[in-house]
Structure 1
Amino acid sequence: MTIHAFIDESGRDRSYLVCVSVVAPAQLTSLRQQMRGLLLPRQRELHFKKEKDPRRRQLADAIAKLDVAARVYSTDCTPKTDELARQRCLRRAVEDLLADGCHRLVLDTREHRNVHDKNTLQAALGARPSKTELTYEHLDSTLEPLLWISDAVAWCYGAGGDWKRRVTPVVERVIPL
Structure 2
Amino acid sequence: MPSHVYLDESIRTTYLIVMILIGDKNLARTRKSVRNFAKKNRKNLHMFHATPGFKNKVLNEVMGYDYEIVIIEDLNFRYRKYLSRQICLRSAFEYAAQMDVDRIVLDRSSSQEKDLITYKKSSRKFPSLPENLHHIASRQEPLLWLPDIFAWSYGAGGLWREKIDHKISHIIRV
Settle same-fold status: TM greater than 0.5. yes
* TM-score tier after normalising by the smaller chain length: over 0.9
Inter-CA distance 83–62: structure 2 relative to 1 (3 Å threshold): farther
Partner of 1:66: 65
Partner of 1:94: 93
State TM-score, norm by structure 1: 0.91
Inter-CA distance 35–117: structure 2 relative to 1 (3 Å threshold): same
CA displacement at 1:132 relative to structure 2 = 4.4
Query: How many residue pairs get matched?
Result: 173
Give CA deviations for 1:112-134 in whole Å, capped at 9, x if unaligned. Answer: 321111111111111655x5444
Runs of at least 5 residues in structure 1 that lack an aligned partner in the other structure? none
Structure 1 segments of 4+ aligned residues over 6 angstroms from their partners: none
Map 1:1-177 → 2, pairs under 5 A: 1-13=1-13, 15-76=14-75, 77-78=77-78, 81-110=80-109, 112-126=110-124, 129=127, 132-177=129-174
Quick one: which amino acid aligns to residue 115 of structure 2?
D
State TM-score, norm by structure 2: 0.92
Mapped partners of 2:117, 2:58: distance in 1: 34
| Percentage of matched positions with identical amino acids | 27
CA RMSD of aligned residues (A): 1.6
Quick one: which amino acid aligns to residue 103 of structure 1?
D
Runs of at least 5 residues in structure 2 that lack an aligned partner in the other structure? none
Contact 2:17–2:71 (CA under 8 A) maintained in structure 1: yes
